[in-house]
A = this chain, B = another copy of it.
Amino acid sequence: MIPRYTPPAFAALWSSETRYAVWLDVELAACEAMEAEGLVPVGVARALRDKNLKLDPARIEEIERTVKHDVIAFLTHVEELAGPDARWLHRGMTSSDVLDTSLAVLLVRAADLLLERLDGLIVALSRRADEHRRTPMIGRSHGIHAEPITFGLALAGHLAEMKRGRTRLREARSEIAVGKISGAVGTYAHLSPKIEAQALAALGLRPETVATQVVPRDRHAAFFNALALVAAGIERLATNVRHWQRTEVAEAEERFTQGQKGSSAMPHKRNPILSENLCGLARIVRAAAMPALEDVVLWHERDISHSSVERMIAPDATTTLGFMLERTSSLVDGLVVREENLRKNLELSGGLFFSEAVLLALVSYGLPRQEAYVLVQRNAMKALAGEGTFRDLLGADPDVSARLSAAELDRCFDLEHALSHVSGIVDRAIAAP
């Protein structure tokens, strides 16, 4: 979470002010539920809410330096501000009741911020995939020309992946929307499941099935894994943009803004730096999944080793992914597609990519597959060696022309036909949930 990569909404979410405000929300929700159960005099929560307390993070941290316990420091400060009523707060609760429930609230909010931005990216990808559904392009495997696709199809692949990412992120949001108000070791020794259920419902959360002192960390690990997967999907898109923008390829490029400078030394350069930046940031989000997995193994009814990890990765990973989603949306929106270069590259091989169609025609004619393969490869190699166009060489090869007429050969070289199913695939991606 460094300013360079922190959108304002995430800065606000992970501020001390928000954190302590959520702690207070949790305490008050619990207090209200205890009032309903008769453990706390009715009206305490309302009275405390009405005081509209302005918690001072600096003061809480000052107290913490003495007591070395953040929740005790917080409660002490609340008591300073609110007076004796505050003693009813936190009754029968343990720090983790507040901390874990609050973390759930914050991570749910973070998930909502992320889902909103992911929706934005999905809209952008849908629009551009639709726009270029019929823009032909050479497909590549191993970086080598394979067979034709369309630029819209390439984007549709990313679109479908982002939608899978959204499904996973929604699932992760649900996994993490779980709190606990069940006391020191999760037994409700001085509380009850009823109190917990009411308090959590007021906060938009569900109770943990079996809590220890904390909410089990497999939920958090699953959450960070979901972020890592979305980040990896962005990295794949960004990597493709980097390839498309290469000097020799030049099929698509990042929008270059007014005043931007590509290089301090080389004034002619226009570099895909946003995409490269996204690749780096994806490594950061991915790296957070590992300590989150290691956090699962808390000892007995809990230890506190997860806490320092989460203080760092919860803001870092959500914020970095939030930034990535914003940047990727804008990248996709502004992507400059060079149709002339798409066409030029497509034609670079003189139709070699129709070799499979020829192969299949020969096989349909009755040639064993491996013999047909040799025949086609022989002419492909000649074409690559510059001995003529692939179409002409095939026509001139007696082993081919003995089997396929000129008209049959021409049918193999039909781009429209090769792409006839593509628009339907793009529709599939746009329609996917």
| A127 interfacial contact with B, CB 8 Å | no
| Among listed A45-53, A102-110, A227-235, A399-407, interface-contacting one | A227-235
Q: Which of B4, B261, B290, B316 is close to A67, meaning CB atoms less than 8 Å apart? A: B261
| A13 interfacial contact with B, CB 8 Å | no
**Complex contact A359–B267 (CB within 8 A):** yes
Interface flags for A359-389 (1: CB within 8 Å of B; 0: not) read 1100100011110010011001101100000
| A322 interfacial contact with B, CB 8 Å | no
Q: Please indicate the chain B residues that have their CB under 8 angstroms from the CB of A159 in the complex.
A: 210
**Complex contact B277–A308 (CB within 8 A):** yes
**Complex contact A267–B380 (CB within 8 A):** yes
- Across the A-B interface, give the 5 residue pairs with the lowest CB-CB distance, nearest first: A268-B380, A139-B185, A142-B271, A283-B291, A267-B377
Interface flags for A13-30 (1: CB within 8 Å of B; 0: not) read 000000000000000000
Q: Please indicate the chain B residues that have their CB under 8 angstroms from the CB of A303 in the complex.
A: 141-143, 242, 276, 279
**Complex contact B357–A264 (CB within 8 A):** no
Q: Which of B221, B239, B277, B320 is close to A297, meaning CB atoms less than 8 Å apart? A: B239
User: In the complex, what distance in Å separates the CA atom of A262 from the CA atom of B376?
Assistant: 12
| A421 interfacial contact with B, CB 8 Å | yes
Interface flags for A109-133 (1: CB within 8 Å of B; 0: not) read 0000000000000000000000000
Interface flags for A72-111 (1: CB within 8 Å of B; 0: not) read 1001100100001011111111110000000000000000
**Complex contact A248–B249 (CB within 8 A):** yes
Additional A-B contacts beyond A66-B259, A148-B185, A188-B425 (16; CB < 8 A) = A1-B2, A2-B315, A68-B260, A87-B368, A139-B213, A140-B301, A147-B187, A153-B187, A160-B209, A161-B216, A190-B357, A210-B429, A221-B229, A247-B348, A280-B308, A283-B294
For residue A67, give the distance in angstroms from its CB to the closest CB of chain B: 5
Q: Please indicate the chain B residues that have their CB under 8 angstroms from the CB of A225 in the complex.
A: 222, 225, 228-229, 289
On chain A, which size bracket covers the interface? Answer: 35 or more
User: In the complex, what distance in Å separates the CA atom of A256 from the CA atom of B272?
Assistant: 32
| A408 interfacial contact with B, CB 8 Å | no
User: In the complex, what distance in Å separates the CA atom of A86 from the CA atom of B368?
Assistant: 8
**Complex contact B87–A271 (CB within 8 A):** no
**Complex contact A265–B356 (CB within 8 A):** yes
| A168 interfacial contact with B, CB 8 Å | yes
Q: Please indicate the chain B residues that have their CB under 8 angstroms from the CB of A9 in the complex.
A: none
User: In the complex, what distance in Å separates the CA atom of A49 from the CA atom of B169?
Assistant: 44
Q: Please indicate the chain B residues that have their CB under 8 angstroms from the CB of A308 in the complex.
A: 5, 277, 280-281, 284
**Complex contact B293–A276 (CB within 8 A):** no
Q: Which of B161, B348, B353 is close to A266, meaning CB atoms less than 8 Å apart? A: B353
| A134 interfacial contact with B, CB 8 Å | no
| A204 interfacial contact with B, CB 8 Å | no
Interface flags for A195-227 (1: CB within 8 Å of B; 0: not) read 000000000000001111100101101100100
For residue A333, give the distance in angstroms from its CB to the closest CB of chain B: 17
**Complex contact A190–B146 (CB within 8 A):** no
Q: Please indicate the chain B residues that have their CB under 8 angstroms from the CB of A396 in the complex.
A: none
Please judge, given known A-B contacts A142-B269, A212-B157, A266-B355, whether A232 and B218 are in contact too, CB under 8 Å: yes
Q: Which of B86, B184, B418, B429 is close to A265, meaning CB atoms less than 8 Å apart? A: B184
